[in-house]
Structure 1
Amino acid sequence: MDMEETLSITLVASSTSCPNISYSFFQLPPLTKWASHENPTISQILVQFAIFFITLFIFHLKTKFVKVFHKRKLVTHHLPPGPHPWPIVGSVPEMFKNRPLYRWIHLVMQELNTEIACFRLGNTNVVAVSSPEIAREFLKKNDAVFASRPLTITSSIISRGFVGTIVTPWGEQWKKMKRVLISDVFNQSNIRWLLKKRNEEADNLVKFVYNQCSISNGGLSSSSPSSLRQVVNVRTVAQHYSASVIRKMMFGKRYFGKGREDGGPGDEEEEHSSALFTILLYLYAFSVSDYLPWLRVFDFGGHKRKVNDAVEVIKKYQDGIVNERIQQWREGKKVEAEDLLDVFISLKHENGDPLLSSEEIKAQITEILLATVDNPANAAEWALSEMLNRPQQLQKAVEELDSVVGKDRLVQEHDIPNLHYINACAREALRLHPMAPFNLPHQSVSDCVVGGYFIPKGSSILLSRLGLGRNPGVWEDPMRFDPERHLKDGVLANQRAVALAEPELRFITFTVGRRSCLGGWLGSTITVMLFARLLQGFTWSMPPGVEKIDLTEADSLLKAMPLYAHAKPRLSPTVYPAN
């Protein structure tokens, strides 16, 4: 080493506001004095140490100054606009006066003429967003800041203490379960492996509707008018299919009990599905207890009680199956996976111990079922309802099926990428008729500025499915059901598939970022297969005495009245699955 070199202390401080700024504070005296024949004196050594520690102290102050400056810079931005909160309770009194609360939130945003608003509920800032640009800023640009979930009473109950994935806050448990879902559950190998089970349920869907068109269905006598025998409750059909597909993939069975000969849901399946939809209704619903914890003992609205009751139903049907299957694997009676439950149980640590506890398996299974049963059924019911009022759309969809698939076989999953119009219809139903008014809430883990507004740590972020999907600044004539809007930009000319996912967040399907839906492909496939099988297998028309389908929304955003429609088989009898 050249002893003529000088020792220079250069410190580099990086922050979001001052990246890669180098500070050269001073230059130490040449080392030649220390390298000479004269030994350095004690005073010289002390001076050098003093300079060194002073340098560290200055660097510490500088770093602290940068952080404080950055913090002050954030605080100079105002919160998004919103109603003036009451002391301590915030806008909680408005929660009691305005039900459903999501309509009041959207009304306030409309009155304030804003696409981002802040509602102070107790000690929590709830930020609602209806702008795709701002939504992308939350979930793309600042995804890491908003990757957690708020802690609520209902989310804790369904996740068995946050040991699953979907509602679990950011942390090691969430990372562990996400790795399991990506690597071991929703991988392409498993998706292909479970194709047979999905096909069985798609065939049963057609069988169920076909049997309802027969004389002997529903206890009706052979003298019953044909028009009555062929009226089908589309909601029941759609929800049963969505639930049976995931039950077959998860547990290897369609029914918890004996089932029905016509392929429809039995009492057990109806009770189980009803419990799932109850949980979905109250999961992250605006509960006073979540914002004013000292009121939890009163359980205003009965959210905790209703979710607890629903979870007990879920446990009644699922826990016994899981426990028995775990025992079979432990005793060596089962050594090969036949469904997703087996996959969860068979996962091992490097030392051979089970990777997942029974509680983790049960919680994750429930979350997967919750994520699967709602959107496909809701989209199919709304799409068919809209298209019955627009026969030309219905006819175009059927013509595409006949052209791509033909009438000699039933539509299969490999046909889906070529069914552009069918995909566009499903996509339009998801845009215009979302299952819930908001996406699952994101929670900020630190202060941040988004859209020019200050978003404090601990804020809950709600992307409005209604506000985004029906935003007139994004969608022309947003309240009109128009599948053609998704076929623009040369989709047909370039033979590109119309995907249900919307990465630009112009409406919400599977969102984006760390909290995006891990089973997006599966959800898309279930949705399109349900809709395509219904349209290919049957000619649908108004029920007797009805001139137009009522499209009134319930407060839950479901169609206020289930869709009843006239169904008539349109294919050769040999194409339909045997009874």
Structure 2
Amino acid sequence: MTNVTLPLPAVALLFASSLIFLLHRFLYKPTSRRGRLPPGPTPWPIVGSLISMLRSKIYFRWVLSLAEGKDIICIRLGGVHVVVVNSPDLGREFLKKHDANFASRPLTMATEYAGSGYLTVIFSLWGDQWKKMRRVVASEVLSASRLQRESILRAEEADHFTRYLYNLCAAGYTIDVRLALRYYCGNIIRRMVFGVRHFGEGGEFGGPGEEELEHVGAAFTALTCMYAFCPSDFIPSLRFLDLEGHEKIMKQATGLIYKYHDAIINKRLEKWRKWRENGGDDGEKKDVEDVLDIFLSLRDASGKPLLSIEEIKAQFAEFMYATVDNPSQIVEWALAHMLDHPDTIQRAVEELDRVVGKDRFVQESDFARLPYLKACAREALRLHPVAPFNVPHVAINDATVAGYFIPKGTMVLLSRVGLGRNPKVWDDPLAFRPDRHLKDGCDNVELAEPDLRMISFATGRRSCVGASLGSLMTYMLLARMIQAFHWSMLPGETSMDLSEEKRSLFKNEPLRACAKPRLSKLLANL
């Protein structure tokens, strides 16, 4: 008999296969002893379905494809069960009926960077840190009274945005809609937090300078890595490999954010220290101009600073991530669809003319009487959410939800795509039809969706505290663009490209369009 020597890789493969078989046979515990998990692919021991995910390259689309057409699935990735929900009824089970048990967040590499060690409202785990930061943000930044006081600031930024578009038109430029929208969103948060629109001199025609482009670009880069199914989030021992380069990307992106923020925060902190050293706390009240001043002035019951500088810096970075994405995404897609359906633009223009007229620009006080315009924004959000899933929830303890066993530590994802485009929920779900939100003559149209037929600001304890601000920004952007300008496709275009990027839910190509002044006299006087 001839001796056959197997090559070393083959030996290693046989050994690994045998080990996996033995582990599967003797270590894997059937879930039936504890309860029935939601249906899903049969996992391998240790790695679960991680290898299949890695083969897919675009991880979130692999997850969406597995979940498509199903109300709920469970995918085990490494040692973590990931439950994906496409059903509004099941979504309400998790985030309303069992809200208290699913109020925490997963520990991930990207959010560790983004939240500077989980110090912030969105990324922190359930507990005292989250409660403190949410209380501060809700009462000092996003309260109804604070938002009302800052309406003048937002009106100024709406005027600046409108003037910027007018300047581009006057110079004969086509409009890079995505750039303009993101610039406005960045301006809002920079004005609120730091009291500045530009970090430097600004750019041509009153637009963004290099600093603002880099600032907003870094925020969107970081957003692409957050909750992106990074392999090391499921098998932490893989983190040193940085398989997809996510950690390097997050370091660079967050570093850019902090580069711009830290200089302002440190300078302002020094001013406050000098003011206190000069007896400012003894009866003299310091002028509070923006959110940074508010955060630096807050004191606990013993008179010590309520927030550390690390908490302030982390929360301000999170404000940037949370503010720039949804309004710009919604309005870019809304205008793209409306250009593809000119009758929708005409109807929105007629509504604006009827409610606002042509002698003044639309203001926030008008929004309640603009249901069709808001329906256009809501329809764009339904079809084109900024992310495929909501911010993940984590099971604090074992639970049984709708008859399924959900182990402690399970990551629960409500699919924005699966809910918003669900044919069981929406007729003709891939069509842009704003009228679907105006049924029965209802004028009470908002982006918020408490019944979870789509995901806007979620619900429950971890719902978005910035829902009101996000809605105001979105409506203002769409209203000003449509009221002040005539919009058309670029020369030679007969239909709009409505395809998505493969690696995100952004429009495949940034929307570029032609705009001509519609309210010339008003625009000239801005």
TM-score (norm 2): 0.91
1:144 counterpart SS class: helix
Alignment partner of 1:564 is 2:515: no
Find the aligned partners of 1:441 and 1:434 in 2 and give their Cα distance: 15
Residue matched to 1:327: 270
Whether the 8 Å CA contact 1:74–1:449 is kept in 2: the answer is: no
For the residues of structure 2 that align with 1:206 and 1:565, how far apart are their CA atoms? 15
**In terms of mean alpha carbon deviation, does 120-129 or 181-190 score higher?**
181-190
- Which AA in structure 2 matches 1:295? L
Q: 1:279 aligns with which of 210, 216, 222?
A: 222
C-alpha deviation, 1:231, in angstroms: 1.5
Gaps of 5+ in 2: 1-30
Instruction: Give the deviation of 1:284 after TM superposition.
Output: 1.0
Residue 238 of structure 1 aligns to which amino acid in structure 2?
L
Letter in 1 for 2:476: M
Mapped pair 1:468 → 2:426 = no
1:246 aligned partner, one-letter code: I
- Please state how far the C-alpha of 1:278 moved relative to its aligned partner: 0.7
- Would the aligned equivalents of 2:489 and 2:496 in 1 still touch at CA under 8 Å? yes
Specify whether residues 452 and 278 from structure 1 end up closer, same or farther in structure 2 by C-alpha distance, changes over 3 A only: same
**Paired residue for 1:180?**
136
Asked if 1:255 corresponds to 2:203, the answer is no
Tell me, in whole angstroms, the C-alpha distance in 2 between the residues paired with 1:410 and 1:99. 47
1:519-530 equivalences in 2 (<5 Å): 519-530=466-477
Letter aligned with residue 110 of structure 2: T
Please say if 1:196 is aligned against 2:196: no
Contact 2:60 2:228 in 1 (8 A): no
The answer as to 2:254 corresponding to 1:307 is no
Tell me, yes or no, if structure 1 residue 386 matches structure 2 residue 337: yes
The alpha-carbon deviation at position 109 of structure 1 amounts to 2.5
Aligned length: 488
Instruction: Check whether the contact 2:166–2:523 (CA below 8 A) recurs between aligned residues.
Output: no
2:55 alignment counterpart: 97
Alpha-carbon separation, structure 1, partners of 2:433 and 2:288: 44
Give the distance between the partners of 2:146 and 2:181, measured in 1 at CA.
Answer: 24
1:437·1:557 contact (CA, 8 Å) conserved in 2?
yes
Q: Pairwise mapping of residues 225-244 of structure 1 onto structure 2 (< 5 A)? A: 229-244=172-187
CA 575–170 in structure 1, closer or farther in 2 if over 3 Å, else same: same
Judge conservation of contact 1:194–1:339 (CA < 8 Å) in 2.
no
Deviations 1:202-251 (A, max 9, x none): 00110111001113xxxxxxxxxxxxx24111111111111111111111
Is contact 1:115–1:131 with CA below 8 Å preserved after alignment? yes
Q: Is the 8 A contact 1:407 1:571 kept in 2?
A: yes
For residues 284-330 of structure 1, what are the alpha-carbon distances to aligned partners after superposition, in whole Å with 9 as ceiling and x for unaligned? 11111111111111111011110010011011100111111112122
Partner of 1:373 in structure 2?
324
Cα deviation, residue 122, structure 1: 0.5
Deviations 1:234-289 (A, max 9, x none): 11111111111111111111001111251211000000101000111001111111
User: For residues 387-440 of structure 1, what are the alpha-carbon distances to aligned partners after superposition, in whole Å with 9 as ceiling and x for unaligned?
Assistant: 111111110001101111111111101111111001000000110000010011
- 1:443 aligns to what? 394
Give the secondary structure class of the aligned counterpart of 2:206.
coil
Mapped to 2, the partners of 1:156 and 1:107 lie a distance apart of 28
The question of whether the paired residues in 2 share the 8 Å contact of 1:204 and 1:577 is answered with no
Q: Is the 8 Å Cα contact of residues 410 and 575 (structure 1) preserved in structure 2?
A: no
Offset, 1:337: 1.1
Which residue does 1:142 correspond to in 2? 98
Contact 1:74 1:448 in 2 (8 A): no
Cα deviation, 1:8-54, whole Å, max 9, x if unaligned, reads: xxxxxxxxxxxxxxxxxxxxxxxxxxxxxxxxxxxxxxxxxxxxxxx
Question: Which secondary structure does the structure 1 equivalent of 2:170 belong to?
Answer: coil
Q: Is the 8 A contact 2:177 2:332 kept in 1?
A: yes
Match of 1:504 in 2: 451
Return the index of the structure with the highest Cα Rg.
1
Given that residues 232 and 567 in structure 1 are in contact (C-alpha distance below 8 angstroms), is that contact kept between their aligned partners in structure 2?
A: yes
Paired position in structure 1 for 2:437: 486
Question: What displacement does 1:185 show?
Answer: 1.8
Cα distance, 1:568 vs structure 2 = 0.2
User: Which amino acid letter does the alignment assign opposite residue 455 of structure 2?
Assistant: I
| 2:115 counterpart (155, 159, 177) | 159
Can you list the C-alpha shifts for 1:329-370, whole angstroms capped at 9, x where unaligned?
A: 222289111111111111111222111010101111111111
What secondary structure does 2:332 align onto? Answer: helix
Is the 1:197–1:248 contact (alpha carbons within 8 Å) kept by the matching residues of 2? yes
Match of 1:550 among 497, 506, 509: 497
- In 1, distance between residues paired with 2:525 and 2:416? 38
**Deviation of the 1:86 alpha carbon:** 1.2
Q: Return the alpha-carbon distance in structure 2 between the equivalents of residues 331 and 171 of structure 1.
A: 35
CA contact (8 A) 1:146 1:444 kept: yes
Give the SS at the match of 1:268.
helix
Distance in 2 (CA, whole Å) between partners of 1:141 and 1:348 is 36
Match of 1:573 among 518, 521, 525: 521
Q: Are the counterparts in 1 of residues 67 and 86 from structure 2 also a CA contact under 8 Å?
A: no
Does residue 1:532 correspond to 2:479, yes or no? Answer: yes
1:483-511 CA-partner distances (Å, limit 9, x unpaired)? 0000013314xxxx311100000000100
Change (3 A) 1:130 1:537: same
Q: 1:431 to 1:183 in 2, by over 3 A?
A: same
Match of 2:240 in 1: 297
Q: What is the one-letter code of the residue matched to 1:512? A: T
Query: In structure 2, the residue corresponding to 1:161 is in which secondary structure?
Result: coil
d(CA) in 2 for partners of 1:522, 1:489: 28
Instruction: Give the Cα separation in 1 of the matches to 2:217 and 2:34.
Output: 48
d(CA) in 2 for partners of 1:415, 1:457? 47
State the AA in 1 paired with 2:253: A
1:87 pairs with 2:45: yes
How many angstroms apart in 2 are the aligned matches of 1:109 and 1:175? 33
Residue 82 of structure 2 aligns to a residue whose secondary structure is strand
Which letter maps to 2:490? P
- Kept in 2: contact 1:240–1:264 (CA 8 A): yes
Residue aligning to 1:458: 409
Whether the 8 Å CA contact 1:74–1:454 is kept in 2: the answer is no
- CA distance in structure 2 between the partners assigned to 1:398 and 1:167 by the alignment: 40
Partner of 1:396: 347
CA contact (8 A) 2:360 2:522 kept: no
How far apart are 1:75 and its partner, in Å? Answer: 5.3
Cα distance in structure 2, aligned partners of 1:285 and 1:172:
27
**C-alpha displacement at 1:76, in angstroms?**
5.0
* Higher mean C-alpha deviation, range 549-558 or range 334-343: 334-343
Contact (CA 8 Å) 2:258, 2:317: kept in 1 or not?
Answer: no
Identity of aligned residues (%): 52
Change in Cα spacing, 1:384 to 1:353, as seen in structure 2 (3 Å) is same
Instruction: Indicate yes or no: 2:52 matched with 1:109.
Output: no
